[in-house]
Amino acid sequence: MSNLKSKRKEITAQIKKNLIAACRVLSGEGLVHGFGHMSARLPDSDLFFLTPRISLALVKEKDLLVLNLKGEIVAGISPAPFEAPLHTAIFNGRAEVRAIARIHGRRANIFSVTDRKIEPVHNHGSFFSGGVPVFSKRDLISTHRLGEEVMAALGKKPAILLRGNGQVTVGRTIPEAVMMAIYLEEAADMLYGALQIGSPIPLTSEESARRKEEALPPVDLERAWNFFKQKTEKK
């Protein structure tokens, strides 16, 4: 086996390992229960791993599906999530995105059914400067057309709310997509709490940019990811 093939095999194995860890973290943090899914691109290809139609708390490496960017299953025997077109649309529309989390954070979900946007009021909220877009249709994202509509609404943002039906977060790595999911729920929780006792004071765009720059370096994301991953491993 050539060094290149060996390296690709090693990277693919690590992606699978991280994807399963991500499933456990999202489940452990209460961001998914019976429903939700996660995907990650394979290296140097138009293929990606996708969790099947089972709870993320139960997914094992052998259960992972491999799909192409047309949404066709090329490996795996389990049924794909109904919303697989969501993943293909985002991967096709955002070349830099390498991982997608489809979650159901309860606090963030509240904001998807009101006219109040999630806006940053604390450090980790700075990732969502300018507000988190809301996809207003109530349909499952089960068609190519709906997937493209969600992609258009997401734009270059790290997250989008699906009206009354959870959220989607994206990242350049699996840890980044997971941390965006955790930080989104944290941002929603902070804003919700602030609204109970007074008028929230959002971060300015300058404050958000500065704090995002401080919080986004890979070493800090890796530190947070390792904490949550270890937390699930201890259970």
**Considering the domain boundaries, does residue 149 fall inside one?**
yes
Q: How confident is the model over 227-231, as a mean pLDDT?
A: 91
Per-residue confidence (pLDDT) for residue 1, from 0 to 100 = 52
Cα–Cα distance measured from residue 184 to residue 79, given in angstroms and rounded to the nearest whole number: 29
Q: What backbone torsions phi and psi does residue 133 show, to the nearest 5 degrees?
A: -65, 155
Q: What backbone torsions phi and psi does residue 50 show, to the nearest 5 degrees?
A: -140, 135
CATH, residue 22: 3.40.225.10
Q: What is the CA radius of gyration of the chain?
A: 17
Residue 167 pLDDT class (50, 70, 90 cuts): very high
Overall domain count for the chain: 1
CB of 204 closer than 8 Å to CB of 129: no
**Considering the domain boundaries, does residue 195 fall inside one?**
yes
Q: Which of 6, 10, 16 is nearest to 174 (CA)?
A: 16
Per-residue confidence (pLDDT) for residue 56, from 0 to 100 = 95
Q: Which of 135, 119, 138 is nearest to 127 (CA)?
A: 119
Per-residue confidence (pLDDT) for residue 219, from 0 to 100 = 61
pLDDT for 229 beyond 70: yes
Residue type, 192: Y
**Considering the domain boundaries, does residue 186 fall inside one?**
yes
pTM for the model stands at: 0.93
Cα–Cα distance measured from residue 19 to residue 14, given in angstroms and rounded to the nearest whole number: 8
Per-residue confidence (pLDDT) for residue 187, from 0 to 100 = 96
Which structural domain range is residue 121 located in? 13-230
pLDDT for 99 beyond 70: yes
Q: How confident is the model over 176-184, as a mean pLDDT?
A: 96
**Considering the domain boundaries, does residue 4 fall inside one?**
no
User: Residue 91: CB partners within 8 Å, gap ≥ 6?
Assistant: 39, 41, 48, 69, 97, 100
Residue 232 pLDDT class (50, 70, 90 cuts): confident
CB of 187 closer than 8 Å to CB of 120: yes
In DSSP notation, 40-76 reads EEPTTSSEEEE--SS-TTT--GGG-EEEETTS-EEE-
CB of 149 closer than 8 Å to CB of 137: yes
**Considering the domain boundaries, does residue 172 fall inside one?**
yes
At 62-89, the pLDDT tens digits run: 999 999 999 999 999 999 999 999 999 9
**Considering the domain boundaries, does residue 87 fall inside one?**
yes
